[in-house]
Structure 1
Amino acid sequence: MSDSTDTQTDLQYSEVEQELRGHVRALLAARAPQSATLARTESEQPVDTALWRALADELGVTGLAVPEKWGGAGASWRETAVVLEELGRAAAPVPYLGSAVLATAALLAAEETELLPRVASGELVAALAVPFATAPRSPFPSSVRQQADGLLHGTLHLVADARTAGALLVPALDQDGQPGLYVVTDFTATPVVSLDMTRPLADLTLDGTAGRRIAAGDGAVATLEAALATGAALLASEQLGVAEWALETTTAYVKERHQFGRPVGSFQAVKHRLADLWVSVAQLRAVARSAAGAAAAGSADLPVSAALAQAFASQIAVVAAEEAVQLHGGIGFTWEHPAHLYLKRAKSASIALGTADRHRAALAQLVDLTL
């Protein structure tokens, strides 16, 4: 378990975190090769439920941030961030961000101990029912309302990981217009075309659906904000994994590919592009680790760390994926090569939980920066 006294300042990986990384990477290499992920994106079942079960049953990483008394591993968001790095590196099609991060953070904030053990064990996939682009500090959603019959009515668009979820955490306004967060298990999820095929989105319809309220009023607002801020902070670790894959794979490729009798990587222009990318990825690692540390420590600076992480990570992950496509030459533009998976993941993530521009604007307000 991480020591909360040093999670914000220590950006290095502990021995436990490195060991965890090794186990997750080995499992992904064995169970989620890129060829299988590419094939899955063209199927009707883009999410790898068998891989999800392996992550839950064999490694127990679906509840890392949940205390042991509530059925979790008793670790922290730092360890969860390490798993996200590896999932990003593999472009793994599992609902980890939606269930093990966003939904779990909401359940922890609401102290919802009835549902939490099932989510922590991976037995139940849960999803936070907000549009995937919803940023921290957004107004409380009003598209779902509790009517006079006491049931929930409304629609929600572009919700991540809802297609595989058995439970939704739905922000809704009650009959008096007061915020509430409800657990819903009876819903209709309609698939929509998603840019990132490894993380499918869905539209949700609630038409007279019963919901169990787990937070109300200011508590519901605070719970939703805690989930979104934690999700934005930890998303940077997934983006780091994407960028690391792009940098390492591209560097290896330009050493092997020859033009004019020389390795492409020996050309000065290519060297400069990869050197600049290496610096950016190193900076991204520091930013992502700092954000994960703030989440693990329950720091009051989490909103600042999350905004800073997303303001920086989104751009770097996209640039890294673009460089991978371009520097792989013709093969990088083909459907058979996995580079497009990472470009789509990076681009989708750059919009998720708030765009970089929105986070920069939020950061300016958070640190009282006036122009």
Structure 2
Amino acid sequence: MGAAGSKLEKALGDQFPEGERYFGLENFGNTCYCNSVLQALYFCVPFREQLIDYYSNNKTLADAEENLLTCLADLFMQISSQKKKTGVIAPKRFVQRLKRQNEIFRSYMHQDAHEFLNYLLNELVDILEKESRAAKSDGETSSPSEKGANGPMSNHANGTQKEPLVTWVHKNFQGILTNETRCLRCETVTARDETFLDLSLDIEQNSSITSCLKNFSSTETLNAEDKFFCDKCCSLQEAQKRMKIKKPPHILVIHLKRFKYIEQLGRYKKLSYRVVFPLELKLSNTVEDADAEYSLFAVVVHVGSGPNHGHYVSLVKSHNHWLFFDDENVEMIDESAVQTFFGSAQEYSSNTDHGYILFYERITAAGTS
């Protein structure tokens, strides 16, 4: 980082707390998809704190069997315990583990950041659930944070399903969607709940996150060949279907579907559409409370014209200041610069840096426990 590092250190000055660290991550040959997501997760403060807590509470971690969770905890500990405020760290152990575990990430080809994020969060959940089950079978009691007290019930008609385990990963990222279908003959509403760790939204040109969310929850009519079998009418009927957010998560991760398969071309094409993502977001289409408010704290940006090549960088908000992370390089940017990543208003534009994954943290008091 050299001169750039000292320049950043000077820029950081007294505006940031003593304990905060801003480290670039070394690229091991097209691992920018991994680095950009790891930076967003590191600056997801509740997640980082619980991961470091997990590390501290598992003193035998060094002797334990290595997995993605132990490698991630080790990496975050390394960053947070650096003597200097800035610098570069090589996430070698984590990347090696990732490649060993999943052949998709084994090659040196360009990978998808959203696919990686999805895989990582689900893998962390699996590891924590296995550890909790192992602890219970050994006669230990699980910690309150790992009990399923607040978890969504499995929606089985006989009601015999046990509540699933809720880990601290769930507590940060998991929300509940409800899929409502209303029979247009008898007006009976059938609701089915499902959990999510991130929301994938279809995008349109010159739109906004709010309009994309409205489209996500818009009513669809099921008729002709798509009729719905109504249990009350005991027959296929016309119906209306819509998806709502029943329980908003603490950390709302929004994935913009920028890669679309074009049949005529026989391949995926990148949509460079301009989609405005606000710094403060209000969720109005939720079932529980209409005023779930969120603040943007990280954006993973895809740079390039297509899905199979390009580059990923991330923008991160830390203590009311924005920083730009591009593998080993870290610099401070103005808040106004975030708007340059909304996308292009014209179909053909020289600007190929587009917001791809958005990370919002809930700021309202209700439901943030």
User: Highest CA radius of gyration, 1 or 2?
Assistant: 2
State the TM-score, normalized to the length of structure 1: 0.29
